[in-house]
């Protein structure tokens, strides 16, 4: 999966601190996920009573768009549900979370397309990378690795705050600037985005 414009790769890394990690997920998801939370997994191995800390909502996660924030609350609740579920019972919970994440990302990508972003913008590419990895995780769980869903949830807890504060907050600001209502998914003045095609990370400033 290539960036729409090679010049945007540096911009993505600047906009989303987790970008290098996301790119490694795409290159070798199982190996990287096995290593990305090695400290946490070592603690779990040493003490079987250790429970991963849940993801907590803070003001820094507010994007400025109520519907986006509501979806993010749901995302966090489902990650926490995975961590609260015994590993041998996680697969149905994880599948529901994967389906929710597909819809979550598709929602944001609809908004991007409706407000002037090209289909291959780098925010959407980050979404694709994560979904690709999540599907690989399911396959490896079914194979032999019953801890990989927990490690995926822990990695998402690490990734999500940076993504929400950069790409998603940037997208929310862009939606507001062009008068896009995320509830009705309509533009107050469609002429504002005529002949505009952006391929940046989620806001006008990085297009």
Instruction: Please give the pLDDT value at position 44.
Output: 29
Q: Is 60 exceeded by the pLDDT of residue 21? A: no
CA angle 42, 52, 141 (to 5 degrees): 75
154 Cβ partners below 8 Å, 6+ apart? 36, 37, 40, 52, 83
Q: Is the pLDDT of residue 78 over 90?
A: yes
Helices then strands, counting H and E runs in the chain, come out as 9, 2
Q: pTM higher than 0.85, yes or no? A: no
Which residues make beta-bridge pairs with 200? Answer: none
pLDDT value at 15 more than 70: no
Matching CATH number, 8-30+64-206, of 3.40.109.10, 3.30.2350.10, 1.10.1740.10, 1.20.120.50: 1.20.120.50
- Cβ atoms of residues 43 and 150 within 8 Å: no
pLDDT for residue 47: 35
pLDDT of res. 197: 63
Q: Which residue has the tokens 């400025």?
A: 64
pLDDT for residue 190 is more than 50:
yes
- Residue burial 163-185, b: 16+ Cβ < 10 Å; e: rest: bbbbbbbbbbbbbeebebebeee
């Amino acid at each position: 999966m290539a960036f729409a414009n090679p010049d945007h790769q540096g911009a993505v890394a600047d906009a989303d601190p987790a970008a290098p990690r996301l790119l490694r997920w795409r290159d070798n998801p199982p190996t990287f996920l096995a290593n990305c939370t090695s400290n946490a997994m070592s603690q779990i191995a040493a003490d079987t009573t250790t429970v991963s800390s849940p993801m907590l909502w803070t003001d820094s996660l507010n994007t400025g768009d109520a519907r986006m924030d509501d979806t993010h609350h749901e995302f966090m609740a489902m990650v926490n549900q995975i961590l609260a579920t015994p590993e041998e019972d996680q697969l149905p919970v994880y599948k529901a979370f994967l389906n929710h994440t597909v819809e979550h990302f598709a929602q944001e990508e609809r908004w991007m397309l409706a407000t002037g972003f090209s289909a291959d913008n780098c925010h959407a590419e980050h979404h694709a990378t994560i979904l690709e990895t999540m599907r690989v995780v399911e396959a490896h769980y079914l194979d032999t690795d019953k801890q990989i869903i927990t490690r995926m949830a822990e990695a998402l807890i690490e990734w999500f705050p940076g993504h929400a504060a950069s790409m998603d907050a940037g997208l929310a600001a862009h939606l507001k600037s062009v008068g896009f209502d995320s509830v009705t998914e309509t533009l107050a003045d469609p002429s504002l985005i005529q002949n505009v095609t952006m391929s940046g990370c989620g806001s006008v400033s990085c297009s």
